[in-house]
Every structure is written in structure tokens, then in C-alpha cells.
Amino acid sequence: MCNPTKTASALPPTRSFPAGDAKVPENLWLQKFDLRAFKADIKKIGDMLEAQQGPADVAHLRKIILWSNLCFFVGAALMYKVNLVSVVGLSTFTFSRWTMVAHHTCHGGYDKVHPDKGRFNRFKFAVNGFWNRVCDWFDWMMPEAWNVEHNNRHHSSGSSPLRPPHQSSAVDAEAPKIPGKKAIAMEAFARALRQMPTIVADNGGYDSAELVTQLRASHAAGKTNYGLDMYNGCVADMDTLGVRESFKSKLQVLLSASEAAEMILRVDDIIKCAPRQREGQ
């Protein structure tokens, strides 16, 4: 097990920059930078802008969609031969659809102000049918993939799978309290959580069995902040190392994985179900 005192020179909890970065001359400002105050300022600006949303934003979106569609029709009509007008029209259509329509909508920018809740909503845009996909998302990439890779992994800085044993222990503790087959599903879910650090350790070339058992022992001892230190091949305090997890990203990853597993199980049940006996047979 790593000795946490090795990182005693880390910056105070109000900052999450590694100590080594602050020693670089161009990064000296990090020593005085207060991340918590910066986060509060950004949230304040976001709340102020959200409060200012209204019909003008919806009108602006409709204008962008109108001009974007016009660029598409002009570009498509002239693409019978290579010409600059067609290239500019189609590229402007694609660019505006991604950067101004899909991007803002998938981030929930119009969830509260747009009257068409069935379309311009982060959970409904470009899904639920082929027609919606063509009209809203005329691209090869799946909108569901964009929501995971961009909205969650990119903006939430990913999801660190370094401390799931603590989460799996919590699930294991609740499983005996649940009657019926749901308890079996919860136990399987806990086992799946424990596989995450195992895979990370294996990919790093370390002894996963040794590291995962050390990690479980640390969590059992109340050291729930401990995780895998993949630089040194041991377990250590993640808070001391400056490793943070995004709660929203972690939650979305677990929900997406659970929904995918449920869908597979439902399909298996449908395939396995015996055909219903018809009357007169």
C-alpha cells in the first residue's frame, strides 16, 4: 500500500492542481488560484444567463434553423457538379446544425424555454424515430453516442473507475434487505462494479487481485477515499493525489450501463418465452 505522506506537499483542498504543475514558472498563478471561488463565479453567471432566457432565444433558434435549411437546399440543388456554392452551402448547413442547434439542444439549453418539449429537449432531440433523426441529426454519428462521449465524458472530464469497491459494498449491504429476484440483480450489479478497478489494474500491467483486495480492505477500514494509484501500482488517498470524480458523469455511466443490460435481458426473455398456445390447437 502506498504511503500517503509522499504527497504531503500537495496544494490545499480548495485547489485540485498537482503540486508539480505549480512549480513551472508559467503556472505560478495556480498557487493563488481559488477553484471554489471560480466555480461559484461560473455558477453565478450560469444562473444569471438562465434567468434571462425567454422567447428571444427561441426566435433566434428558429432563425438559425431557417437559414441552415436554406443552405442545405441550395447546396443540395447545385451539387450535380463540383462548385463552390454547393460546398459552402452544405458545409454551412452541417456546421450550423452541429454547433448551434444540436450542441445547444443536447446540453439542455432549450429545455425550459422552447414550447416544443417533445423535440427541443436534451432527452428527446433527434431520437424516437427515423424522421426525427433525419430532420434533427442528419449525420452518421448516433445522437446517443454524442450524448455520452461529448456531454458526459468531455464536459465532465470522464468518470474515474478507481474506487467502485466502496460503491459495490454499499450495494451488497442493501441486497439482503430486498426480497425476491431483485436481490440477485443487485448482487450481480455489485460484482460488475468490482470488475472496474480489476480491468484498470490489468490494463496497467499490475496484479489486479492484489490491488483490488487491498482496495477493499482500505474501504472496509473506513478509508473510502482510497483508490488505485496507477503511477506507483498501489492504493492511495485519491483526495491527497488530487483525483476527483464527476458525480453526474458517474451517475450517467451507471444509468446507461444499467439500461443497456436491462434491454439485453428483456430481449433474451422475449426469445426464450414459449409461444402462446392458440385456441383450437
Least confident of 8-12, 168-172, 228-232, 241-245: 8-12
Please identify, among 133, 154, 175, the residue that sits at the C-terminal boundary of a domain. Answer: 154
* Range 275-279 contact pairs with CB under 8 angstroms and sequence separation of 24 or more: none
The amino acid at residue 243 is V
Q: How many CB atoms lie within 10 A of CB 95?
A: 12
Segments forming the whole domain that contains residue 106? 53-154
Residue 129 sits in the same domain as residue 177? no
Q: What is the pLDDT of residue 175?
A: 80
Mean pLDDT of 136-158: 67
Residue 99 sits in the same domain as residue 63? yes
Share of the chain above pLDDT 90, in %: 6
Task: Give yes or no for residue 5 having a pLDDT over 50.
Answer: no
Examine residue 162 and state whether it is found in any structural domain, yes or no.
yes
Please identify, among 154, 184, 216, the residue that sits at the C-terminal boundary of a domain. Answer: 154
Residue 166 sits in the same domain as residue 131? no
Tell me which DSSP letter residue 205 carries. T
- Listed residue (159, 167, 173) closest to 192, CA to CA: 167
158 phi-psi bin (left φ>0, alpha ψ -120 to 50, beta other): left
Please identify, among 90, 121, 154, the residue that sits at the C-terminal boundary of a domain. Answer: 154
pLDDT band for position 281 (cuts 50, 70, 90): low
Cell numbers representing residue 218 in the block: 482500505
At which residue does the C-alpha cell 446517443 appear?
A: 144
Examine residue 197 and state whether it is found in any structural domain, yes or no.
yes
CATH of the domain at 257: 1.10.560.10
pTM of the model: 0.47
As a whole number of angstroms, the distance between CA 174 and CA 172 comes to 5
Examine residue 120 and state whether it is found in any structural domain, yes or no.
yes
pLDDT band for position 66 (cuts 50, 70, 90): very high
Residue 205 sits in the same domain as residue 127? no
Task: Give yes or no for residue 245 having a pLDDT over 60.
Answer: yes
pLDDT digits (tens, 9 = 90+) for 92-102: 998 888 888 88
Distance of CA 21 to the CA centre of its chain: 27
As a whole number of angstroms, the distance between CA 219 and CA 169 comes to 9
Residue pair 69/90 in contact by the 8 Å Cβ criterion:
no
Instruction: Name the helix (H) or strand (E) containing 58.
Output: helix 55-77
Q: What is the pLDDT of residue 70?
A: 93
Residue 24 CB-density burial (10 A; 0-12 exposed, 13-18 middle, 19+ buried) = exposed
Structural domain count of the chain: 2
Nearby residues of 78 by Cβ (< 8 Å), 6 or more positions away: 85, 86, 89
Distance of CA 39 to the CA centre of its chain: 19
Cell numbers representing residue 221 in the block: 477500514
The Cα angle at residue 126 between residues 63 and 119, in degrees rounded to 5: 60
Task: Give yes or no for residue 273 having a pLDDT over 70.
Answer: no
